[in-house]
Each structure stands twice: as structure tokens, then as C-alpha cells.
Structure 1
């Protein structure tokens, strides 16, 4: 079986039940013993070599010791002993459980492009290759090559973002939650922040807008209702203690029906000079044509927002990071904040983001994020479905499905996408588990008790591997004439 991870050979991931490690019955030919081997003796056994390389010797040593300790405390072991093969199986099972916690490549067949549990937005392989030398050697991250003295970290990022968003200046932090927190700390600590009741969102992991305001030291002032907030609501709430009006993108839900939200330009024009207008745009949308119903960073800046914070991956297509774009005087204040050093990203993020922005401005395919690449080429999804069905005839049926961008980007947008429904007779949950147990796990979904592989999120480079793994999982074992003639 192809294995793209180039990992050493290890015992195949064991099924959830029915394994030798789960079976207390001794197999024929095994000789039970009440004398357990020494830890070092077991660590020298070939069956642990692959685990040591992938987990480290200390973690495997811990697994060996824990297994031996459990055996010593087992009444069954004290009465009957244990076969050496069973000791090995128990240790291997424990190592396999550890191995599943290791970061590993997976194949996304869920139909969610920016999948938080699967690493969010995958980077372009060409982009990754382009910055390899910048990150495996030294670079001029904080060196001004003209003077030989210490320089800033941003490089070309600020002028590139100025071209892309029309913002005067920008800074980069490690994620968009940090963007918002830093903004609130610097601009609104111990002062009032006005937020619509319909925009006090909570996203995954318990991130709540009211909680972030409280932690930053800002004081929340709620205005409007869940479904209707007007410009007058914002203006009526302003006092001499108001520092900020914060408008938040509804990242994971939509409100329909009797609703009203003010035009940001109307709010911007009416605000007094001492009040900053900030927008948590979130998704990093910079190409209006890609999602015409969403407001891009550039549109917010043009409408009068003083600061806009957004993600560097998601719809932008770069590494996971947070970006704040807006007025130069405010950006300079944020850069001097003591927390900025806590939030600043590594050179890997800076190099990837800088090169991405160059490609994006040059309209190169390397500058396209996963959502733009996928949605601009629906024929490629159909081609992947045809390729899979041709390789495994009779094992899949093409059915209509949908893809979502995900990641808190376009919560009300669903796009048509082909999916393949597996005809394997096994129960859906059993098959779903088996797909996750493959050497390169395949993450699928279930609909109406059938396993679905959504073609939208499969990457072209992984199709050959996916087909090979599915053949091994689904096709019957080759007929073996020798086994067929053996006595039961």
C-alpha cells in the first residue's frame, strides 16, 4: 500500500475490537509464562523499532512499563501467565493509541474546505516550496540590509496589503482572536465599546465577543436587538467614555426575515472624531467577485472603517495568522503595545504571507486560496468522481451534495458538489471508523446511513493514494488456492 508519510513499517492499526490484544484466550502454540521480560529487552525487539522512530524512545518505554505494570496487577496473569506474543500485542496496542495522537496527514472527504479540525486552510504546495530556503537557513527577518542595522519584521507585507486593501498600514499577529484582543486592549481599555446585540457571537472553543471584551478591560455597551440594529442605536449610545464602535461579522450563523443592519459608511460618517470604528471581518475576503454577498476588507476600509481585523488563511489563502489593516496612526500604536511581542508570529508566517500577497496581486494561481481554487473549477470535482468510480466499479454511486467553505467564513453559502455514496454492506459507522484507521486516514461523513465521500475537498495530488487505500479496504482479498484446500 502506498504510504505518503514515509514512515517506518509498523504493525497496522488494529480494529476497535476482536484483536489479539483484546482476547485473553491463548493462541495455539503460545507458551504462557509468569516471568515478564525486562523493559530493555522488550525495547530491543524489532516490533517496536517503527514505534520508537515515530513516537520517540521515552514514550515507547513508558508504554512498555505501563503494560507490564498492568499485567503484574492482573489476576488472570497471576493465575495463568501470559504468552510473549500477547505481551507484544498489548504493547503494540498501547503504542497505536499514542500514535493516533500524532499529527498526521489526512484526506478530507467531508465537503468542508476550511475545516478547523483538519488544520483549516491548506497552503499551496508551490507557495510552501518557494519559502523553503528562507526558513531552513537564515534570512533578513529583522535586518535592514541597506544600513546593516535592526529593522522591522513586516518586510513588504504592509505595502502589499496597502495595494490589496487600500488600507494605510497593516500589522500581522498569530491569529485573528489576537488581532481583536490587541485592538481592544490598546484602543478601549477601561473605556466603552459599543456592539450590536445581533453580533455578540460565539465561535468554536468558547470564544465569545463579550468575554474577550471583558478580558481586554473594555466595557461592553449593547445596542439594538438580535435582528435589528440601526445607525441611530449606535449614535444614541455614544458618551465621552466611548472609545470604539465594534462591528462583528456573523461568522457561523445568519439572520433572515425581519432584519436590519446599518450601512457602515453611514455609521462612519456620523461618529464623533474621538470614537474609532473597528470591524472584525474575520474571513480575509479580498476578492469581491468571489463572494459578492460578503463585504471585503477593502470595502470596509473604503466605507470608512478605521481598523479591520481578519484571518490570514481562510479566504485569503495564506498561513494561519491575524491581520489588522487601517489607519496608520492606530497601527503604529498597536505595534508599540507590550502585548504585540506576545502575539507576533514567526518568520515562517511572515515569509508565506509576503509571497502569497505578491502572487495574489499578480493574479497568479499560487495566490489563490483553497476556496477560490475549488469553486472556480467545478469540472475538477466531477472528474475526481469519475476517476474514483472507474477505479472501483460498483462500489460507489454518484449523488448530489453540497460543499461549504467553513471556518466561520460564509455561513449562509452552500455550493453544489458531487459526492460518492459507498455501497459497501458494512454499517456506516463501522465503515467510517475503518476509513479513519487507514495508514493515511480518510475523513468522510454519513448521510441517511450511508458513507459519503465529498469530491470538493479531495486534493488532486492525493487521488492515487486514496484509490489504492480504498481498494485495499473495500475489495475482497485475492483467492488463495492453498488456503482454500486447508482443513478447517
Structure 2
């Protein structure tokens, strides 16, 4: 009987395991996994969920099941959404130097908490603290697992069971429903709001400072903007006021910019060094404008950092050797500012010129049309990118995109469903392609596309079955 001919009843597991293709699968996945997959396929047949088929077809289903089960959950995608630092897509892409540094320490022992010179236990922050201080002007620094953790640790270490004064207009909520008032409660602090949503003056802080004050904090408006009839107390004046009363002044900067963005033709954003000129402590992220790995940094006065470092929460929020390796590698790139734009992916992507992106789009248009043009109208159009991750929320960057629109046969009423199905088909590719649907088209913003070869090779796997839509 042919192996491809349908059978009257499902073959046994043992018979299928003896098949040549099953033996090949066993080499890849192991006998136990192949056995489980075959049993699952046969169970689906017995339950009437799938039709009875030949042994070859049954083993093909088993192979497909095994491939799905063994596909990594976390994998690379092509971020063509137009948001450079996309929180859901991993934020800052790391430079090769960071990847190499991580690879060097991840598979074996390292001197994470060992002082090689003295031959005794060391402090893990030593691997990056001097670099952070050199680049920001801080006296000392600590690294934790993200900026939310940095804020939590500062509040808990310096103001537990005390009041923390914050302007009402800065009680923000960021992604994941992280709210400043909530984190203060978790840190064991009492929030003291001052001013109004749109206007807060220095006198509001002065009136609020008292014996129960543990900290005054300013939260940088990184993911929103208040415009119109507004007022805020300047950081220099707040720092002076806090100094007069012996109260620490902390700034939650959020994005963690280390350079003058205006010098690169980008919208200006406060730097950590500038913030530390008018604050005792500054907290910021590592994987936003800094362009490194996910982490949070606390930088500032040595005596305050020492208090924070002693907090029991510090151990709970610490980072691993791979984070330190990647962060150190990125920070070292900042020591060569003349090559930073070339070597740091975040800065390189943010500073791409619109004309260069448009030329890339025109160059790719024929190849993309050849692959997808049979089911879509593909055009090159101008668009705008955004920095993302709460940085400069009202600023955009001129860019260019490939726009995909449904053929005329789809009709206006079917446009929305067609665009959703196209977006889903692109996400299902071996390297998922993530764009954005807006104004009747699916747009692939090319600002963040540097590897055209991978992009086109991925589109080669675009299933022609989509032409049936």
C-alpha cells in the first residue's frame, strides 16, 4: 500500500514512528517530543477535529505541530511602525559592541562581583559607575532593572514614612498603568500634591515643605505636554529652596539623554548632565534615548547614593551580568562623540534624512511590487516618524513609507477587513513585518529599515494564497 494513500483507520503510533520522516524528526526534536506530537494528531482524528489522512499527511501535521511548539516566543521582527523606540517591540536596538560584550560573559564565569585587583568581593555597579559619572557629572551612580525601579528605590530609601512633594501637573501615568501616586504608596511614602494641573509656583513648594518632608521630586513630562496658560517652578529655584531646608531634590528625567540633540538636528531634550546641575539625584532609563539595554540609573550626590545603595530593595531590583556588559559597551561609545552617530543605532535611526529614506523607498518599490503587487496597490508616500517610549511626545520626524492599499475590487466597505488581514499576513512571516494601519492604508515606515536584504527575503515567503481575498 502506498504511504500517501488514505487508510481506513488511523495507523498506530509505533508504525508512524518507524516511518522515515518520523526518524528524521526524531533527530531534530527527540523521540519523546515526536511521539507526543503524533499522539496529539491521532487524538484530533479520533475526536473528529481533523480528517483521516495518509501516514505521510499525518506525519506532516506532526512536523508542523512540532515546528510551532519549538518556535521561539521571543524573536526578531522588522519594526516599520514609524516609532523608533517602540516599547512593545523592544525599544532601543543595541549596537554590535553591546551584543559582543553580552556574548563574552553570558556562557561562563565573570568578575560580576569580584575585584580582580584585590582578589576579594566587589560591587557590581563598579563596572559602569565611573563611566556614568564621567558622562553625566554625577558623583556616584546605581543601576537597577528599569526607571520605574529607580524611582521606587529612591522614594523608599530617602522618604519612607515621609512626605514627597510633587506638582499636581506631574502626577503622570506611563505605559502599563504605572502611576506616580501608586508607586509612592508602594514605596511607603505619602504624596503631597502642590499647585494645580496647569500652574505650579515656587511658593507652593515653599508652603508645603515641613518637618515631615522627605523628598521633593520633579517628574519630566516625557509622554505628554501641557500647553497654554501654564507655569512651573524652575529646577534651579527648586534645588536652591530644597538646599535651604536640607531636603533632597530629585528629578525623574525618564528618557535619559546624554547628548545635545539639537546639535544633531533633532528636537531638544534635557540631558542628564544639565538636570544634575540643578538636582541632587536624577533617575533615567537605559533603553530609551540613551540607546542601551533596559535598565534604570540613579545618579547624583555620593551621600544620597550611599543611602540608596543600602536599601534592601536594591538587591531585589539589581540587574545581571549581561545588562552590565551591554550598558558598559554602549556607554563607551559615548566617549567617542565624533563617531557616535555612526555607531549608536538609536541616534543613527533618529537622524536619518527624509530624502535618504524616500530614495530607499523608491529603490525598494519595484521589488516589493513584484512580490505583493498582485494583491495590493503599492506606492511611496511621505509620512512622519516619532521617537517613542515617551520621549518628545509632540515632536515628529519627516520620513517616507511604502503604502499598501486594497485593489479596487475590494470596495470601500471591505477596506478595513482587507487591511487587517494584510497586517496579519505580514506578521505571520518568518521575520514578522510590523507596520501601522492609518488613513485607509497599511504603511511601512522605512526610517528604521537598515537591512533591505532581510526585508526582501522575508517578503519572498509571502504566501500567494492571499490573492484569493
Query: Normalising TM by the smaller chain, what interval?
Result: 0.7 to 0.9
1:55-84 deviations in Å (ceiling 9; x for gaps):
88777766555554444444x77xx85654
Aligned positions of 1:383-394 closer than 5 A = 383-392=359-368
Which residue, 150, 164, 177 being the options, matches 1:206?
177
Which residue, 410, 421, 437 being the options, matches 1:430?
421
Tell me the distance in 2 between the aligned counterparts of 1:238 and 1:39: 78
Q: Which residue of 2 aligns with 1:129?
A: 100
Which residue, 314, 329, 342 being the options, matches 1:340?
314
Matched, 1:117 2:88: yes
**1:163 alignment partner, SS class:** helix
Matched, 1:406 2:388: yes
Task: Point out the more displaced range, 178-187 or 96-105.
Answer: 96-105
Aligned positions of 1:236-247 closer than 5 A = 236-247=207-218
Matched, 1:149 2:129: no
Matched, 1:301 2:276: yes
Q: Which residue of 2 aligns with 1:289?
A: 261
Matched, 1:456 2:447: yes
Tell me the distance in 2 between the aligned counterparts of 1:128 and 1:358: 14
Q: Which residue of 2 aligns with 1:7?
A: none
State TM-score, norm by structure 2: 0.84
User: What's the CA shift for 1:186?
Assistant: 0.6
User: What's the CA shift for 1:301?
Assistant: 0.5
**1:473 alignment partner, SS class:** coil
1:159-213 deviations in Å (ceiling 9; x for gaps):
2212211111111111111111111111111111112221111122221111111
Aligned positions of 1:236-385 closer than 5 A = 236-271=207-242, 272-290=244-262, 293-303=268-278, 305-363=279-337, 364-365=339-340, 369-378=344-353, 379-385=355-361
Aligned positions of 1:175-214 closer than 5 A = 175-214=146-185
**Closer, same or farther: CA 81–470 of 1 in aligned 2, 3 Å:** closer
1:448-483 deviations in Å (ceiling 9; x for gaps):
222211011112xx2112123324538899xxxxxx
Report the RMSD for the aligned CA atoms in angstroms. 3.1
User: What's the CA shift for 1:308?
Assistant: 0.7
Task: Point out the more displaced range, 426-435 or 279-288.
Answer: 426-435
**Closer, same or farther: CA 120–60 of 1 in aligned 2, 3 Å:** farther
Which residue, 467, 470, 474 being the options, matches 2:456?
467
**2:126 alignment partner, SS class:** coil
Tell me the distance in 2 between the aligned counterparts of 1:464 and 1:343: 40
Tell me the distance in 1 between the aligned counterparts of 2:297 and 2:178: 18
Q: Which residue of 1 aligns with 2:413?
A: none
User: What's the CA shift for 1:335?
Assistant: 1.3
**Closer, same or farther: CA 177–68 of 1 in aligned 2, 3 Å:** farther
Tell me the distance in 2 between the aligned counterparts of 1:264 and 1:137: 46
- Contact 1:33/1:83 (<8 A) preserved: no
- Contact 2:98/2:327 (<8 A) preserved: no
**Structure 1 runs not aligned, ≥5 long:** 1-28, 478-488
**Structure 2 runs not aligned, ≥5 long:** 411-417
1:312-358 deviations in Å (ceiling 9; x for gaps):
12111111111000110111111121121111111111122122212
- Contact 1:165/1:298 (<8 A) preserved: yes
**Closer, same or farther: CA 188–47 of 1 in aligned 2, 3 Å:** farther
Aligned positions of 1:34-113 closer than 5 A = 34-35=9-10, 37-38=12-13, 41=16, 46=21, 64-74=38-48, 84=55, 87-88=58-59, 91=62, 94-95=65-66, 98=69, 102-113=73-84
1:226-272 deviations in Å (ceiling 9; x for gaps):
21122222221222111011211223222222222221111111124
Tell me the distance in 2 between the aligned counterparts of 1:255 and 1:354: 36
Tell me the distance in 1 between the aligned counterparts of 2:256 and 2:125: 18
Q: How many residues align?
A: 443
Tell me the distance in 2 between the aligned counterparts of 1:265 and 1:173: 27
- Contact 1:424/1:474 (<8 A) preserved: no
